[in-house]
Amino acid sequence: MNFSHKIKPLFLLLLCFSSAAVFAQKGTKFKVTLDAGHGGKDFGAVYNGHVEKNIALSVALKVGKILEGMSAFEVNYTRKTDVFIDLVERANIANRADANIFVSIHCNANPNTAAYGTETHVMGMSKNASALAVAKRENEVITMEKDYKEKYDGFDPNSPESIVNTTLMVEENLENSIALASKIQKRFTNDLKKRDRGVKQAPYMVLHKAFMPRVLIEMGFISNPKEGGDLDTEEGQMEIAQAIANAIVSYKKDYFGSGENENEIKPSQRIESVKSTADEDKPTPGNAPVQVDKPIDKTEVANGKVIFKVQISASGKKLETTPSNFKGLKNISVTSDNGTLYKYMYGETTDYNEAKQNLAEAKAKGFDSAYLIAFRDGRKITIQEALK
């Protein structure tokens, strides 16, 4: 009996199901949280009739509309109208959405009205005076929030450096944040011919609590008569929005869907973990909290085949791993993502305590934003996984 005429339809049916499954797997949407800076009672910078909160909202909505026109993206917003949102709530909106990236959109300002150009910030400690000044201005908004001293654990907005408990869990997203920021700056300078003020690190409270790659964009100086005027036009805002959207699309293409992060804890799970830990660690009345840095057993870590390194920088430029290029540090290694981002690491040890010493040494050399990373069997894992 000839079954060929029955087998062919069955084969085609199975092929369709298989193709649909593959499409569904590949069709995972890239989630973007767009944060329009300021809002409501917080006007942001105001110069020559140009209001930062309005410009930031208009650009954020335009970026969102561009991305929403692409089936591969899912967009959510911290605000879509003129309302006041607490800084920590902005981050939590992204965390609850399990966003892949968080993009906060702002306008810069300076009493020197000649200042101009674009810059994009990532979370990190900094000794740069201008970066700290911008962070201070953006962080001051928390004083408009009710019970901000309790809510932000005594953080002083006049001293951005007081964000001292930036955890390793948060810092592990630094390299991807730098990659996204670099792409945004590249679009501004190459596509729009804007002055490139660079990618900078500073302690922003709005970025501090977001558990994914995140950036804060300063689109230009609202205080500069020409640049401020351009930012307050439909054409100028559309150009900026398109550049930001193009950078996000490029970032997704390079960094999303590799499968490397499939088993990582999602931001929504991390925020619940942070809440739980905060409740457990809350001091009883009359007792000051005491933090104990518990030593990690070297043998336990070694048996788990975990290697610790210190990531000291990430850059689009390839450097020779000689001590002269890294402030005298030896034992430098480098990895690359398709030649677009080079990650430079210092040291290599299976001992967590020794790794912390290496981290302290790197910071003493001037690598203020250095942080620990871990590998198991050649695969990058979180510090939390490494210490389990």
Per residue of the chain (388 residues), what is the pLDDT tens digit? 454 444 444 444 444 444 333 333 345 899 999 999 999 999 999 999 999 999 999 999 999 999 999 999 999 999 999 999 988 888 899 999 999 999 999 999 999 999 999 999 888 754 455 544 555 555 555 555 556 555 555 555 555 444 444 333 345 678 888 889 999 999 999 999 999 998 888 777 777 788 889 999 999 999 999 999 999 999 999 999 999 999 999 999 888 754 344 445 567 765 554 444 444 444 333 333 333 333 333 333 445 589 999 988 876 678 889 998 888 999 999 987 666 667 889 999 999 889 989 988 988 888 876 788 888 888 888 777 788 7
Rounded CA gap, 376 and 379, in Å? 5
Query: Which pLDDT does position 194 carry in this prediction?
Result: 96
Rounded CA gap, 159 and 136, in Å? 7
> Cα–Cα distances in Å, from 175 out to 310, 320, 344?
12, 19, 10
Q: Locate 237 and state its tokens.
A: 């805002």
E strand map for the chain: 30-36, 46-47, 50-51, 73-77, 101-108, 118-123, 196-202, 214-221, 306-315, 332-336, 342-349, 371-376, 379-381
Query: Which pLDDT does position 302 carry in this prediction?
Result: 44
User: Buried b vs exposed e over 276-289: b needs ≥16 C-beta within 10 Å?
Assistant: eeeeeeeeeeeeee
> Is the Cβ–Cβ distance between 183 and 247 less than 8 Å?
yes
Q: Which residues pair with 122 in a beta bridge?
A: 201
Rounded CA gap, 132 and 137, in Å? 9
DSSP 39: B
E strand map for 69-204: 73-77, 101-108, 118-123, 196-202
Query: Which pLDDT does position 284 carry in this prediction?
Result: 37
- Residue in the block written with tokens 């730098």: 178
Give the strands of the sheet with 73-77, arranged side by side: 73-77, 30-36, 101-108, 214-221, 118-123, 196-202
Rounded CA gap, 167 and 371, in Å? 10
CA 346 to chain centre: 22
Q: What is the pTM of this model?
A: 0.63
Rounded CA gap, 59 and 236, in Å? 9
